Amino acid sequence: MPLVKNPILPGFNPDPSVLRVGQDYYIATSTFEWYPGVQIHHSTDLANWTLLTRPLNRKSQLDMRGDPDSCGVWAPCLSHDGDKFWLVYTDVKRKDGSFKDAHNYIVWADKIDGEWSDPVYVNSSGFDPSLFHDPDSGKKFFVNMLWDHRRRPLLFAGIAVQEWDAKTKKLVGERKNVYQGTELALAEAPHVYKRNGWYYLLIAEGGTGYEHACTLARSKDIWGPYETHPEKHVLTSKDHPRAALQRAGHGDIVETEDGRTYLVHLTGRPTTQLRRCVLGRETAIQECCWKDDWLYVKNGPVPSLWVDLLGERDESKYWEEKRYTFKDGLHKDFQWLRTPETERIFHIKDGKLTLIGREAIGSWFEQALVARRQEHFSYDAETVIDFSPTDERQFAGLTAYYCRYNFFYLTVTAHSDGQRELLIMSSEASWPIGNLNTPYVPYVQIPNEGKVKLALTIRGNQLQFYHAVLGSGDEELKKIGPVFDASIVSDECGGHQQHGSFTGAFVGVAASDLNGLAAEAKFDYLLYKPVKNQQDAYVRDNE
């Protein structure tokens, strides 16, 4: 069977948690400030994955208004105890500085694509929690990293284990710090497994940048002591800067029905000499083997670009053009930011997506922005907007967006005298201030009525906007503005300290009304068309 090329979940799909139930495989990934929370993909062969559900989809489960960029839902853990599906996640309210306000919750469901329960609060002592169902004792154990703001001696203080009672929905008994990791430090993302009488503890170390790694330890008792793997890190790219898959770490293990073992993990594919991961942290997979009751990644610890899976991937789906109309509602590819109260930021009527202008683009509370992930290094995007702004505080349009501190935005707006115009707003690595880049790109006056077609092209690190006024007799797309550096819409430029941005690039539509009048902008469709280029055709394997 032909080998399959990593990543298996391209674009912003980090922190994978993998699960097999019968012949079905599921991967849950982090969504951070994007709503609804947690993406769950499904596969039957580990090669072809489809987005199945986002379970945290109502206010009683998740409200992230006020969560800063790259906060929100971190590192979900998906599991099944033979009866129910369980999902553990963190809602992070603050991440910069000495403190982490990270609240951990559990939800459950009888069917993975059904309705999930309201959350049960567990603790806030750290993040990246998981739930281990001990097959022998029948007990459940809650496992999370511990955060020590004093750094005495470690900021990432170690991995804590505590029993969780499924009847009372509470932690019981003693909490014990069972493992502090290796000298690479920053122990996080714990997952516990049991095999051949051993408890295995898989963690991430080195941070989620270019020093990232998966570290494995084992013990005969869940409470320890744990011995570290003979090679320490079963997966890492940290010593191989030319490997195709970088930033490899934060993994989870799954066994197939026929006894093969695989490790899913996050990875990044940097572009340009500045090593910027525009597609964010993606999900890749590695085949593993066991020797002397230790797990090893085949051809590891460096991750392989090509892997042997249970099926052959259908590449045509990855390259198909997506023309999103809104006749049947909002397509599952789309998300919005933070709020569970969608009726305040958009609605769909007569096949049109109507955005209700709220706060400015980049707001951490209530902004009307609906977008999908960038999954290709090069693509075209296009929309048609019907919008009649009255002044400069009302604007709506097409955006390539990462966060408050880096985006490109072609808007339909108006001057203070009411004359409608096109204006490009850009915020290019503007952390911590968040200012727009000035002077603004020269504006283009357009008629005060009528629809406008807005488009952008991205070719690697080059972004160009286009426009056309419909009904004008000249509807050919024309360039507007300069060529922008598209690589800025990346983890490395997302704002915050180095490796402190965790999402990925999106493309979509947005609307703001800073007058507070909730002006509405109507969009006919959004086109997303992948374009092959040298980076997408890159086939060099790791050495």
d(CA 289, CA 292): 10
Dihedral of CA atoms 328, 329, 334, 335 in degrees, nearest 10, equals -160
Q: CB-based burial of residue 329 (10 Å sphere; 0-12 exposed, 13-18 middle, 19+ buried)? A: exposed
Q: In what order do the strands lie in the sheet with 17-21?
A: 17-21, 24-29, 39-43, 50-53
β 17-21/34-35 pair status = unpaired
As a whole number of angstroms, the distance between CA 507 and CA 408 comes to: 10
Beta-carbon contacts of residue 135 (< 8 Å; ≥ 6 apart): 194
Rounded CA separation 122/140 (Å): 13
CA distance 194 to 140: 13
Give all strands (DSSP E) within 431-530, no chain letters: 444-445, 452-459, 462-469, 478-485, 506-513, 520-530
Q: Which of these, 71, 61, 63, 66, lies nearest to 92 by C-alpha position?
A: 71
Q: Say which of 227, 366, 392, 421 is annotated catalytic.
A: 366
Q: Tell me which amino acid residue 91 is.
A: D
In the block, which residue shows the tokens 């979509």?
508
The 3-state secondary structure of 8-38 reads CECCCCCCCEEEEECCEEEEEECCECEECEC
Q: Is 366 an annotated catalytic residue?
A: yes
Residue 201 near residue 178, CB atoms below 8 Å:
yes
Give catalytic residue positions.
366
